[in-house]
Amino acid sequence: MLLSQMERGRSRLLRRSAAVLILLALGAVVSLGTTWALVLLDPTKQPEGSVLALSGPGGKTYLASLAHAFGRDLWTVTCAERTPYTFPQAPGWLPLPGEREYFSISEGWGWPARCMMQHGYLWQNNGWMADAADSFTWQRGLKTYQFPTRILWWGMLLNTLIWSAAAFVVWRLVRAARRRLRARAWRRRGLCRGCGYDLRGLGPGGVCPECGRISAPKPVAPGGALAAS
Ligand SMILES: [Zn+2]
C-alpha cells in the first residue's frame, strides 16, 4: 500500500519534471521562432535615436546611435577620441569597433527582450561587412533576409521563461475546455460527469459508485443512448 503510494508519487514527480522540461524547451523554441519571424516581418525602424557617448575599454570614448523598432534595436557605434569626460559604460554585449573599423553596426532582435544579435562593420570605403559567424542570409527574390545567430543569454533566458509561462497558460486553458466538453458529452449520454461511469439505471441524483461524484444524469430515452454508443 505504502510502496504503491510512493511509486505513484515518484511517477507524478517524473511526469511533472518532464512537463516542465517540455514547457521550457517549447519556450526556447518560441523565443527563437519569434526572433526569426521578426526578421522576416522586417519591422520599420524609427528615425535614428539620440547620439550617445559611451565609454569602453582603455578609457576610450565611443559615439553610439540607437534606432528602435518593435523587437529590434540597431546600434551604430564609432570610436571617438579619448576625452577627459566619463560617460555611461557601453552594454557588455555591444561589440565596439577597433582601430581599423570605421563603424560597428549591431542589431539586437527578439521580443519581449532582445535575445539574439548580429554584427557587422562599416568600413570607410567598402560598405557594410557582416560578420559571417553570427548571422546567415536567405535570399528571396530581390530581398535578402539576414537572421541573427549569436545568442544574448540574459535576454534568451528571460524570453524562454516568459514564453514557457504563456505556453503553460494556453495548455491549461485547452485542457480545461476539453474536460468541460467531455463532461458535457458524458452527461448527455447518461454517464458520470467526473469519470464516465455508466449511471443509467441508478436513478436521478445518485452518487457515482466509481468516483463518488453526485450526479444528476439527464433522463435518457430508452434505447437511444445505447444505440448511439
Ligand atoms: Zn464517476
**What is the DSSP secondary-structure string of the chain?**
-HHHHHHHHHHHHHHHHHHHHHHHHHHHHHHHHHHHHHHHH-PPPPSP--EEEEE-GGG-EEEEEEEEETTEEEEEEEE----SS--PBPPTTS----SS-SEEEEEEE-SSS--EEEEEEEETTTEEEE-GGGEEEEEETTEEEEEE-EE-HHHHHHHHHHHHHHHHHHHHHHHHHHHHHHHHHHHHTTB-TTT--B-TTS-TTPBPTTT--B--PPP--TTHHHHH-
pLDDT for residue 218: 52
Q: Compute, in angstroms, the gap from residue 210 CA to the centroid of ligand 1.
A: 5
Q: Compute, in angstroms, the gap from residue 215 CA to the centroid of ligand 1.
A: 8
pLDDT for residue 86: 74
pLDDT for residue 210: 85
Q: Compute, in angstroms, the gap from residue 180 CA to the centroid of ligand 1.
A: 14
Per-residue pLDDT of the chain (229 residues; tens, 9 = 90+): 677 888 888 899 999 999 999 999 999 999 999 999 999 998 877 766 667 888 877 778 888 888 888 999 888 888 877 666 777 777 777 888 776 667 888 899 999 999 999 988 776 665 666 676 788 888 888 888 889 999 999 999 999 999 999 999 999 999 999 999 999 998 888 888 888 888 887 766 678 888 888 766 455 555 544 444 4
Q: Does residue 41 contact residue 19 with C-beta atoms inside 8 Å?
A: no
Q: Does residue 91 contact residue 80 with C-beta atoms inside 8 Å?
A: no
- For the CA atoms of 140, 141, 144, 149, the dihedral, rounded to the nearest 10 degrees, stands at 10
Q: Compute, in angstroms, the gap from residue 12 CA to the centroid of ligand 1.
A: 22
pLDDT for residue 181: 95
pLDDT for residue 48: 66
Q: Compute, in angstroms, the gap from residue 199 CA to the centroid of ligand 1.
A: 8
pLDDT for residue 40: 92
Q: Compute, in angstroms, the gap from residue 218 CA to the centroid of ligand 1.
A: 15
Q: What is the pTM of this model?
A: 0.74
pLDDT for residue 19: 93
